[in-house]
Amino acid sequence: MKKLIVLLVLAAGVFSTNINAQGGDPAAREARMKEMKTQLVEKAKITEAEADKVLEINTSMREQMRGLRDLSEADRAKKMEEIQADMSKKFKAIPLTDDQVKAVNEYMAERRKQMQQQRPNN
């Protein structure tokens, strides 16, 4: 019986760690996305439909960047430049103006900085 309880506690710990590693609660993640969308509309002077596309492109870019962790520093920098250039092309295809693209990039950089400051190991 004790072994069963220990295994259940261990499984619950692994499960909760896995959820946190994937961004936590889906409802909380959706709330963050809505907040980001609202802020993007305000700061970049874009429509809600454009903000949806920007967030979709950003999510895709983050997925691509996750795959770069195993590369050398030089290879990673080169690949990140390629991803950034591709992202800018996609922003232009929405279509966003140069000023809107600049505002979106500034907002995303600001969000990254905030997220890095919130990490417990920084």
Structural domain includes residue 37 = yes
Structural domain includes residue 18 = no
Structural domain includes residue 35 = yes
Structural domain includes residue 32 = yes
Structural domain includes residue 101 = yes
Give residue 94's identity as a one-letter amino acid code: I
Structural domain includes residue 5 = no
> Angle 104-37-58 (CA atoms, 0-180°, nearest 5)?
55
- The per-residue pLDDT for 116 is 86
The predicted model scores a pTM of 0.71
What are the pLDDT digits (tens) for 87-97? 989 999 999 99
Q: Label residue 32 by pLDDT band (50, 70, 90).
A: confident
Contact 107, 40 (CB under 8 A): yes
Q: 59: domain range?
A: 26-118
What are the pLDDT digits (tens) for 38-75? 999 999 999 999 999 999 999 899 888 888 888 899 99
Structural domains in the chain (count): 1
Structural domain includes residue 69 = yes
C-alpha of 60 from chain center: 9
Structural domain includes residue 1 = no
